[in-house]
């Protein structure tokens, strides 16, 4: 085995054991002939016999392990999520834990509503058991942030959650957490992958029988005791307490999008006084096929179509939706014309940041050593808000793992106090009980903020307008280009390479002031070629600062075959910022699209 390459902070690893060095056809043949692979796997592979393009896609490369963990399409092959890749990852993690953990190591495992999630969770536990590592496995699906909480609550050495987050229904994944409850950072990822790399024969991975492991105390089923501790901890993070009379006027439509949020989100809203919560019945129950949506992603407005219908019928102003593993939350609000409009992740994050800091400020409760965190592609409005309350803003690479890592570095190992962190892709975290984005606590705070604005005679739309009037009309956008298969990955890598070689001073009519190359770790002034260090880990990201004070950022996705382009502008009015954003997008795409054709 070997680490093939590093791209966008993701390590591409060989997970096929003795298949190392074979081309895709030889790997395919090996999986068909090796008795280690079960009949179901071989039957699936025989169905694609003769389809070289499909065989190549399944075997030409290996899954990526990074900020999203091990994630891919479910199926047989080295470029797929299956029990063999799960076992391999679990054995590598077991080796790492035994070398770096305590005398009696333990791990906690959770899973969401996706196809084979429960199977992959049990496979993981059985591998851990064969290595003498005790596993706590949840009795049924649970949110990812509860897994993060449970790692520290149970004093475990690590955590694993089986999820593909908001990816399409044919995906699943394997996400690893460290003993601090946060996603494992790059340095530890490297060490885990070295352990995976040491396993030369996949058939050497031992798997204990699940019932035998339970009988021997190596697997323990957990549930309500963790749920209760988690919910009570989150309730302690309330910022304001509005009169119940006001809360009773706050109707909310909620959709879990067929995922794990249904029970915990409804529970925390009820226990914090929000009793008029209407759940979308068609999307209430867990369903791995996500039959009512094209993508189970709260970033997609279409996912809220059913919720909007109920909101209109019930005369409700606020809609909340969480993704399948309940770490992301989307918000739809009613504007002054009675239209239901989705908030961007940046808008929700800044509304929450202003709500938290303004109320803490009124009580003189902002910690003098407090800090908030955002990613490099998250709105610059966050900095304006933090500056207004004299709070330090820390900027990190894309990926919530880097936000959670700051809690460990600055609070646990330092003397600073984490207040709030968010990213543009609908992830938010308050408090330190979880160390990853948490849609349960975010849903509680969003509802609480809704009631607070209502107590002031305002809607959330009014609150957003007030925010822009105070700080300026910041607007952001995102373009994603999906390029499937080996050819798509090659085009994405080729575009990034070409941009680095050219160091363009203009994109269309947009003049570039400076380029931040996070892979190289430097910021380059176009006018004088002066370089300055960025001080962040290496990542395949290019960030462009324009002469007008705007920005755009280009990076490959780490979890999907996509090239992402982020944009940010500011203006004195809504119309001027919208015009600037449209122009910026047009000019940038005029250069990027030809590279992807």
Map out the domains of the chain as residue ranges.
Answer: 3-222, 242-471, 474-596
- For 100, other C-beta atoms within 10 Å of its C-beta total 16
Max Cα distance, the chain (Å) = 70
In the structure encoding, which two tokens stand for residue 493, read together? 């890598």
Strands 329-334 and 340-342 turn out to be antiparallel
Length of the chain: 597
Cα–Cα dist 329/493, whole Å = 31
Residues of the chain falling short of pLDDT 70: 1-21, 62-69, 200, 559
Q: If one looks up domain 474-596 in CATH, what number appears?
A: 3.30.310.50
Cα–Cα dist 565/405, whole Å = 25
Cα–Cα dist 438/161, whole Å = 14
Render 330-356 in DSSP notation, one character per residue: EEEEE-TTS-EEEPPHHHHHHHHHHHH
Alpha-carbon dihedral of residues 79, 83, 87, 89, nearest 10 degrees?
Answer: 40
According to CATH, the topology of domain 3-222 is Alpha-D-Glucose-1,6-Bisphosphate; Chain A, domain 3 (3.40.120)
pLDDT in tens, 546-594: 999 999 999 998 767 899 999 999 999 999 999 999 999 999 999 999 9
CB 7 within 8 A of CB 563: no
pLDDT at residue 559, rounded to an integer: 64
Q: Which residues are CB-contacts of 60 (< 8 A; sequence separation ≥ 6)?
A: 24, 79, 486
pLDDT at residue 65, rounded to an integer: 58
**Residues labelled catalytic:** 165
pLDDT at residue 7, rounded to an integer: 29
pLDDT at residue 301, rounded to an integer: 93
pLDDT at residue 20, rounded to an integer: 53
pLDDT in tens, 274-299: 999 999 999 999 999 999 999 899 99
Cα–Cα dist 170/114, whole Å = 8
Please report how many Cα atoms fall inside a 13 Å half-sphere around the Cα of residue 189, on the Cβ side: 22
pLDDT at residue 148, rounded to an integer: 98
pLDDT at residue 546, rounded to an integer: 97
Are 3-222 and 474-596 the same fold in CATH?
no
pLDDT in tens, 30-86: 999 999 999 999 999 999 999 999 999 998 876 665 545 688 999 999 889 999 989
In the chain, DSSP finds a helix count (H) and a strand count (E) of 19, 26
pLDDT in tens, 463-501: 999 999 999 999 999 999 999 877 888 999 999 999 999
Its CATH architecture, for the domain 242-471, is 3-Layer(aba) Sandwich (3.40)
């Amino acid at each position: 085995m070997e680490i093939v390459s590093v791209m966008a902070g993701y390590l591409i690893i060989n997970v096929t054991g003795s298949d190392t060095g074979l081309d895709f056809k030889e790997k395919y043949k090996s999986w068909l002939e090796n008795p280690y692979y079960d009949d179901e796997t071989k039957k699936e592979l025989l169905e694609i016999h003769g389809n070289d393009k499909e065989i190549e896609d399944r075997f030409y490369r290996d899954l990526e392990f990074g900020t999203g963990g091990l994630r891919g399409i479910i199926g047989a092959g080295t470029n797929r999520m299956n029990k063999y890749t799960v076992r391999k990852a679990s054995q590598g993690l077991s080796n790492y834990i035994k070398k770096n953990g305590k005398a009696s190591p333990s791990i906690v495992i959770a899973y969401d509503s996706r196809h084979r999630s429960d199977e992959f969770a049990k496979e993981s536990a059985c591998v851990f058991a064969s290595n003498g590592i005790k596993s706590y496995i949840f009795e049924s699906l649970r949110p990812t942030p509860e897994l993060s909480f449970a790692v520290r609550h149970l004093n475990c050495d690590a955590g694993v959650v089986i999820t593909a987050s908001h990816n399409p229904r044919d995906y699943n994944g394997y996400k690893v957490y460290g003993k601090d409850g946060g996603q494992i950072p790059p340095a530890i990822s490297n060490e885990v992958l070295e352990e995976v790399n040491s396993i030369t024969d996949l058939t050497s991975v031992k798997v204990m029988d699940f019932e035998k492991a339970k009988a021997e105390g190596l697997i323990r089923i957990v549930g309500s005791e963790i749920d209760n501790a988690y919910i009570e901890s989150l309730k302690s993070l309330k910022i304001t307490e509005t009169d119940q009379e006001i809360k009773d006027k706050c109707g909310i439509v909620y959709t879990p999008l067929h995922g794990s949020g249904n029970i915990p989100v409804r529970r925390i809203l009820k226990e914090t006084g929000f009793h008029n919560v209407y759940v979308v019945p068609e999307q209430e129950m867990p369903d791995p096929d996500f039959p009512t949506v094209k993508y189970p992603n709260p970033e997609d407005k279409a996912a809220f179509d059913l919720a909007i219908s109920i909101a209109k019928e019930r005369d409700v102003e606020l809609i909340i939706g969480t993704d399948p593993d309940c770490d992301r939350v989307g918000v739809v609000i009613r504007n002054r014309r009675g239209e239901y409009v989705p908030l961007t992740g940046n808008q929700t994050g800044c509304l929450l940041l202003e709500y938290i800091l303004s109320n803490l400020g009124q009580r003189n409760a902002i910690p003098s050593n407090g800090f908030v965190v955002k990613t490099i592609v998250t709105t610059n409005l966050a900095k304006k808000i933090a500056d207004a309350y004299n709070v330090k803003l820390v900027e990190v690479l894309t990926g919530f793992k880097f936000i959670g890592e700051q809690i460990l570095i600055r609070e646990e190992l330092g003397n600073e106090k984490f207040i709030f962190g968010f990213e543009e892709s609908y992830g938010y975290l308050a408090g330190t009980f979880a160390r990853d984005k948490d849609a349960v606590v975010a849903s509680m705070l969003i509802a609480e903020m809704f009631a607070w604005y209502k107590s002031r005679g305002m809607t959330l739309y009014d609150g957003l307008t007030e925010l822009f009037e105070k700080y300026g009309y910041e607007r952001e956008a995102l373009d994603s280009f999906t390029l499937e298969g080996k050819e798509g990955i090659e085009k994405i890598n080729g575009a990034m390479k070409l941009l680095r070689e050219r160091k363009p001073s203009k994109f269309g009519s947009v003049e570039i002031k400076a380029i931040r190359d996070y892979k190289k770790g430097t910021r380059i002034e176009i006018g004088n070629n002066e370089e300055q260090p960025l001080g962040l880990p290496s990542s395949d990201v290019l960030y462009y600062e324009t002469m007008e004070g705007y920005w755009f950022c280009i990076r490959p996705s780490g979890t999907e075959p996509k090239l992402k382009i982020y944009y940010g502008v500011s203006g004195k009015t809504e119309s001027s910022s919208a015009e600037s954003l449209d122009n910026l997008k047009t000019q940038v795409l005029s250069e990027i699209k030809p590279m992807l054709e």
